[in-house]
Structures are given as C-alpha cells and as structure tokens.
C-alpha cells in the first residue's frame, strides 16, 4: 500500500472545563519526539465548546498545529459527535499517527474511530518509538500477564493509532509564547443527529485524594486479611494526607473500588512515596508503581518479591508495624 498521502503525528487533546488533561500534555511530549524523528509536524486535535484558546497551550507544550472543532454540540463528550469530528478531520488531513490517552474518554473514542477507519489500534501502550526508515510506529505494552513486553506494528494500514497510559510519558517544559497554526474546522451536525443526550452531570462527591495525582500513596494487599484489616491502610493514608491504593486481589475481594487499583489492569502511579502493605509484589502490580520515587514495603515474608523493588523494606506483621508508624507520624 502507498502511504505517501499520510503525514504528521496527532494527539487527541482531552480537556475538562477549559483545562487540558495532564495525559494530553504528556502525549504532546511523546508526540514531539516521534515527529522530530520522522521530520514531520505535531498537531493536536481539540474538540469542545469555547476551547479555541487551548491551541496556544498546546503550542507551548510542543505542537506545531491545532485542528479545532469549537461548537456547542461538543459541550459534553459523546462518542458519536466526537467520533464524527475526528473521522472527518482524519479523512481530510490523513495523519500518519494518532495518539490518545488511555483514559475512559480516550479508549472510548479511539476504539470508535478505529472501527470506522481501515486500521487497527494498539491499546494501553507504555512505550512509543518510531522506525525512522519505515515510519512504522513501535507501540509497546505488557503482554502475557505482564511477563513480556510486546511491540505491536501496524504495517498495512494508516493512520497508526495507539492509546497510551497516563504518567508513563513526560510532558515538555512549556515554552511561553511558542506559536503554531490554528486550523478551525466545523462539522455539519445537528443535535437530532446524535442518539445520546446528556441529561445531567453528577459530580463525584468524594473529597479523597485521587491516586493518579497523589504525592503519597498508601497501598494495601491481601495480607491485610479482611475489609476491616484494610482499614489500617486508610488510617495511615489519612495520617499522611495521602491516597489509598490497592492490589487487584483486594479490589476483587470488594474491600475498595477499582479506581484505587494499581497495576497492569489498574492505574499507573508515580508518587513521591509509595507504601506497600501486605502486597506480595506480583509483576502485574509492580508495573503500575515501579517508577515511584521512594518505595517502602511492609511484608511479613522476607522472601516476598516486593522486597526486590522497594527502596526500604520492613519485615514484620502489618498490624504491629503500621500502628507504630502512625504514632511516630502523628507526633512528628
Ligand atoms: P498476595 O499475593 O496474596 O500477597 C499478600 C502478601 O501479604 C504476601 O506477600 C504475604 O506475605 C503478605 N502478608 C500476609 N499477612 C501479612 C501481615 N499480617 N503483615 C504483612 N504482610 C502480610 N494485581 C495488581 O495488584 N494489579 C493489577 O493491575 C493486576 N493485573 C493483573 C492482570 C492479569 C492479566 C493477571 C493475570 C493478574 C493481575 N494482577 C494484578 C494480580 C497479580 O498477579 C497478583 O495476584 C496480585 O497483585 C496479588 O495481590 P496481593 O499482593 O494483594 O496478594
């Protein structure tokens, strides 16, 4: 197949209330590297209402171009309307590569767009590179239960598309005043054309710190024995002003909800301090927290694999150690 009409790297820019999500800024950083290697432009696609001014932010974070759909029909994210805009834009300008955050919106939109284009989608990527000669995107992700890294290529079709996990790529330092080209697009779409309607937005009421934004995470595993035992993790997190994380087994036991799960099928986190209590350190957990700046593990089994990853390890019973730590932290 001839791909000479396909050119440039694109990032789908996610925004909420006029603020660009961190993962989109990270993808602009990753996209910039890919674009430089290919000697092509980096563009962001911004869809929403009253969002044109965000173009200047994406230029500061490395984009050369912004494709903007600023229409009231895009006030709220809906798969159908956003998909129609992105499809139209893709068919018109033919990018070589499109990157999305592996967020609920990014995953939803990317898969919807991929089904309508003659191409595939690599989901949940954690490493990106490009082969300079062939232009092939090298999108890598953990496979076979996290035991190997698989690099997935899209040889026969364009664009090459991937969703990318938050916190694994680095945003560039913003260059104030850096400029780019804004291309304003408009799609002929009426409210009646869209089958979903947004009736009400109910904001989450929880005041707890989100694990993907926390500087300190206290995470608990099956070693805490029960939902009551897991309370120890919540208490220590409260004392330290941190967020609560968990292993998958804990989530499956119903001790805490899935947004708190750290790991391959949960969230990837990079806090300043990660305290793992009663977590064995299975590879699927480790891939989600191994880049934390300081990892402290508490486990009663001196052979637990978590001790191969942590910076400081305490061998002992969590029910003895954690109360002692809390006393110390409270008086510190
Ligand atoms: P266990 O492995 O049972 O470990 C409990 C630990 O607690 C042990 O090391 C024990 O020594 C210690 N302990 C017991 N009592 C005490 C005590 N009183 N004080 C101190 N320590 C104590 N897992 C994830 O976490 N995240 C994922 O995203 C994820 N994705 C997966 C995806 C796939 C495809 C698969 C196959 C698995 C996935 N898993 C994931 C599951 C993973 O393989 C492990 O099963 C899981 O992480 C184990 O959870 P755990 O460490 O809480 O429990």
- Model confidence at 84, pLDDT cuts 50, 70, 90, reads very high
Average pLDDT over residues 324-328: 94
Instruction: Cite the beta strand spans of the chain per DSSP E.
Output: 9-13, 15-16, 19-20, 42-48, 65-70, 97-101, 121-125, 127-130, 137-143, 148-152, 160-164, 181-185, 216-220, 243-246, 273-277, 294-299, 312-315
From the alpha carbon of 220, which atom of ligand 1 is closest?
52
Note the pLDDT tens digit of each residue in 38-75: 999 999 999 999 999 999 999 999 999 999 999 999 99
Phi–psi pair at 104, nearest 5 degrees:
-65, -40
- Ligand 1 atom closest to the Cα of residue 145 is 34
Q: Which pLDDT score, from 0 to 100, does residue 210 have?
A: 77
Give the pLDDT band of residue 148 (cuts 50, 70, 90).
confident
Pocket test for ligand 1, best of 212, 250, 251, 280 (most atoms within 8 A of CB): 280
Q: What is the tens place of the pLDDT at every residue in 107-121? A: 999 999 999 998 999
Asked if residue 66 lies in contact with residue 183, where contact means CB atoms within 8 angstroms, the answer is: yes
**152: pLDDT confidence band, cut at 50, 70 and 90?**
very high
With contact defined as beta carbons under 8 Å apart, do 91 and 2 qualify? Answer: no
Pocket test for ligand 1, best of 222, 229, 254 (most atoms within 8 A of CB): 222
Residue 239 CA to ligand 1 center (angstroms) comes to 24
262-316 tens-digit pLDDT: 998 888 899 999 999 999 999 999 999 999 999 999 999 999 999 999 999 999 9
Distance 151 CA to ligand 1 centre (A): 27
The per-residue pLDDT of the chain, averaged, comes to 94
Q: Which H/E stretch holds residue 260?
A: none
Distance 53 CA to ligand 1 centre (A): 45
Q: How confident is the model at residue 128 (pLDDT cuts 50, 70, 90)?
A: very high
* pLDDT on residue 135: 85
Ligand 1 midpoint to CA 170 (Å): 29
Q: Does position 83 have pLDDT exceeding 90, yes or no?
A: yes
284 is in an annotated binding site: yes
Q: What residues does ligand 1 touch, defined as CB less than 6 Å away?
A: 145, 221-223, 247-250, 261-266, 278-280, 282, 284-285, 288, 298-301, 304, 317-319
Check whether 174 has a pLDDT greater than 80: yes
In this predicted model, what pLDDT tens digit does every residue of 86-112 receive, in sequence order? Answer: 999 999 999 999 999 999 899 999 999
CA of 285 to the centre of ligand 1 (A): 7
Note the pLDDT of residue 240: 94
pLDDT at residue number 208: 64
Whose C-alpha lies nearest to ligand 1, atom 13? Answer: 223
Q: What is the pLDDT of residue 184?
A: 98
The per-residue pLDDT for range 198-242, each reduced to its tens digit, is 999 887 665 566 788 899 999 999 999 999 999 999 999 999 999
Per-residue pLDDT, 207:
56
pTM of the full structure: 0.73
Q: What percent of the chain has pLDDT over 70?
A: 97
Beta carbons of 42 and 1 less than 8 angstroms apart: no
Backbone region of residue 291 per phi and psi (left: phi > 0; alpha: psi in -120 to 50; beta: other values): alpha
Alpha carbon of 161 to ligand 1 centroid (Å): 33
- pLDDT the model gives residue 166: 86
């Amino acid at each position: 197949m001839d791909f000479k009409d396909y050119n440039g790297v694109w990032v789908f820019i996610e925004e909420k209330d006029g603020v660009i999500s961190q993962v989109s800024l990270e993808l602009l950083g990753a996209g910039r590297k890919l674009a430089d290697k290919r000697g092509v432009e980096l563009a962001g696609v911004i869809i929403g209402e009253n969002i044109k001014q965000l173009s200047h932010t994406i230029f500061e974070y490395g984009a050369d171009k912004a494709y903007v759909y600023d229409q009231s029909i895009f006030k709220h994210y809906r798969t159908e309307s956003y998909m129609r805009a992105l499809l139209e834009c893709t068919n018109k300008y033919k990018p070589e590569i499109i990157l999305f955050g592996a967020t609920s919106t990014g995953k939803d939109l990317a898969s919807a767009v991929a089904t309508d284009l003659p191409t595939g989608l690599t989901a949940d990527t954690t490493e990106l590179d490009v082969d300079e000669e062939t232009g092939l995107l090298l999108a890598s992700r953990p496979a076979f239960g996290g035991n190997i890294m698989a690099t997935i290529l899209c040889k026969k079709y364009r664009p090459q598309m991937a969703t990318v996990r938050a916190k694994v790529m680095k945003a560039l330092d913003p260059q104030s005043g850096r400029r780019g080209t804004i291309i304003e697009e408009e799609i002929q779409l009426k409210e009646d054309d869209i089958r979903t309607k947004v009736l009400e937005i109910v904001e989450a009421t929880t005041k707890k710190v989100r694990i993907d934004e926390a500087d300190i995470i206290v995470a608990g595993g099956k070693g805490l024995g029960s939902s009551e035992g897991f309370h120890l993790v919540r208490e220590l997190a409260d004392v330290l002003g941190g967020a609560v994380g968990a292993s998958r087994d804990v989530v499956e036991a119903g001790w805490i909800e899935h947004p708190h799960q750290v790991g391959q099928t949960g969230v990837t986190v990079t806090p300043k301090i990660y305290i793992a209590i009663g977590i064995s350190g299975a590879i699927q957990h480790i891939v989600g927290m191994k880049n934390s700046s300081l990892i402290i593990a508490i486990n009663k089994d001196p052979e637990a694999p978590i001790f191969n990853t942590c910076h400081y390890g305490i061998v002992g019973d969590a029910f003895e150690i954690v109360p002692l730590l809390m006393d110390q932290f409270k008086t510190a």
